[in-house]
Amino acid sequence: MKNFTQTQIDAIKQLEYYTPIKFHGNRKQYNGIPVEMVKKVVETKQNRMYARHSGTMPSLFQTVRELVRQSRESKGTPYFKTLIEGNTGIYYASPSYGHRDYNKTRICDKNDTTLKIMSLFNSLITQMNSVEKLAAMGCGQEIINSQIERGRIRAAISNLKQFFKYQKHGVKTGLFSLEDSFVYVSKYWNEFKAQQFLIEKYKTLYSEEYYKLKLQFEKFNSI
């Protein structure tokens, strides 16, 4: 950067992996920096970000989601595991054996975000869920089934909202194309659509939110 002024160098340092890099064809500079240099710096930071996270953030949430299911299903057995903190990473291991668990698995690097995810994960799997509470109270199967169905609707709406947010951010900042981004969210879109028959059953509770999100997603993805 010996040919750049200090002002230009400072501007280059301010570039982030999410800095937009789609420019009009006749644009030559961005904040006093040549457009080609901006693209090169941002793409380098994007590659570093992908390498640091070993893929994309959605993949981490998909992993954690699957581990929540496994831990809930194994609760009360010797196979039950939680997330534990290591020196540099977060691990999936037996709460009894901790780091002595020879079957422990490293899930991700340790940072402020993943520590919060670990705390939320452990809170989720150690609490009695609403279905378990209803069963413990002696509620009938019809009430329990209703709780399960409404839980499926809420989960489908929440998951699509979250990953739709990732998709819009990724497309807007040029991290990936609209077509590629749809691959990441298609699983959650299909799960969302699969709940439509339940929406008719609980239309007074979820119909407005469901169809509003459906319309936004279809419009953005030109479905």
pLDDT per position as a tens digit, 69-103: 888 777 777 778 889 999 888 998 888 888 888 77
Query: Which domain range does residue 183 map to?
Result: 128-223
User: How many domains, the chain?
Assistant: 3
- Reply yes or no on whether the pLDDT at 217 is more than 90: yes
| DSSP state letters, 16-83 | -TTS-----TT--EETTEEHHHHHHHHHHHHHHHHHHTTS-HHHHHHHHHHHHHHHHHTTTSTT--EE
Task: Based on the fold, state whether residues 135 and 221 are members of the same structural domain.
Answer: yes
Task: Based on the fold, state whether residues 91 and 150 are members of the same structural domain.
Answer: no
Task: Based on the fold, state whether residues 28 and 65 are members of the same structural domain.
Answer: no
Task: Based on the fold, state whether residues 35 and 66 are members of the same structural domain.
Answer: no
Task: Based on the fold, state whether residues 77 and 44 are members of the same structural domain.
Answer: no
- 101-141 pLDDT per residue, tens: 877 888 888 888 888 888 888 877 766 566 666 676 777 88
- DSSP H or E segment with residue 85: strand 82-85
Q: Share the mean pLDDT of the chain.
A: 80
Task: Based on the fold, state whether residues 189 and 220 are members of the same structural domain.
Answer: yes
Asked if residues 171 and 177 have their Cβ atoms less than 8 Å apart, the reply is yes
Higher per-residue confidence, 204 vs 223: 204
Task: Based on the fold, state whether residues 141 and 100 are members of the same structural domain.
Answer: no
Tell me the CA distances in angstroms from 125 to 35, 76, 119, 121, one per residue in order. Answer: 49, 11, 10, 6
- Reply yes or no on whether the pLDDT at 1 is more than 60: no
Would 211 be classed as within a structural domain?
Answer: yes
Would 1 be classed as within a structural domain?
Answer: no
What strands, in cross-sheet order, belong to the sheet with 105-109?
Answer: 82-85, 89-93, 105-109
- Reply yes or no on whether the pLDDT at 26 is more than 80: no
pLDDT number for residue 211: 94
Encoded tokens for 62: 């998909």
Task: Tell me the average pLDDT across 157-177.
Answer: 85
Q: Global pTM?
A: 0.47
Would 165 be classed as within a structural domain?
Answer: yes
The type of residue at 20 is P
Task: Based on the fold, state whether residues 189 and 172 are members of the same structural domain.
Answer: yes
Task: Based on the fold, state whether residues 206 and 148 are members of the same structural domain.
Answer: yes
Task: Considering only CA atoms, give the Rg of the chain.
Answer: 23
